[in-house]
Amino acid sequence: MILGLLSGENDLPKGGYSVIEEALQALRQLTENKELPEGRVELRGDLLYINFMSFDTKSQEEQAAEKHEQYLDIHYLIEGAERIGWSPLEAGMIPSQPYNEADDFALYAPQADEQLLSLKPGMYAVFFPDDIHRPGMGDGSPIKKAVVKIHKALLAN
């Protein structure tokens, strides 16, 4: 997991992966525009794309945790306030909802060691396939965010 601030600086943390740097640069360029799109913006087809979305946050009791097998996520908050829970995948953990290959996710109950991240506009969090994360939490207020999806095949670059 990587937590950072998307700013105009050239030294964005990227965990040593050029594709994360590429995604953050594309996100920076797109979010400089005052009128952001809703929906999917493709950068490299199904291998690298951004979903722009708006929704009301949910309480911690309502929101399940998720994990992906094929993609890593970059969650970038544009407007509002969001809490995201994070915990590492550990041996023996069993999902509460089995892996859905078509939508690339399994659901998990919140973990006792879960860390809560508080995102403010301009912040992003990168979640790798071994990171269990619980996005979209808050007090029911609306947020606008972007989620970059990077296929794990691109991590070799």
> 156 pLDDT band (50/70/90 cuts)?
confident
List pLDDT tens digits, range 112-149.
899 999 999 999 999 999 899 999 999 999 999 999 99
Whether the predicted pLDDT of 25 surpasses 80: yes
**What is the widest separation between alpha-carbon atoms in the chain?**
46
> 91 pLDDT band (50/70/90 cuts)?
confident
Whether the predicted pLDDT of 8 surpasses 60: no
Return d(Cα 154, Cα 72) in angstroms, integer: 10
List pLDDT tens digits, range 27-85.
998 888 767 888 999 999 999 999 999 999 999 999 999 999 999 999 999 999 999 99
The per-residue pLDDT for 15 is: 63
Decide: residue 138, CB within 10 A, 0-12 exposed, 13-18 middle, 19+ buried: buried
The pairing of beta strand 105-108 with beta strand 65-67: antiparallel
The per-residue pLDDT for 14 is: 58
The per-residue pLDDT for 10 is: 52
CB atoms closer than 10 angstroms to residue 135: 24
SS3 128: coil
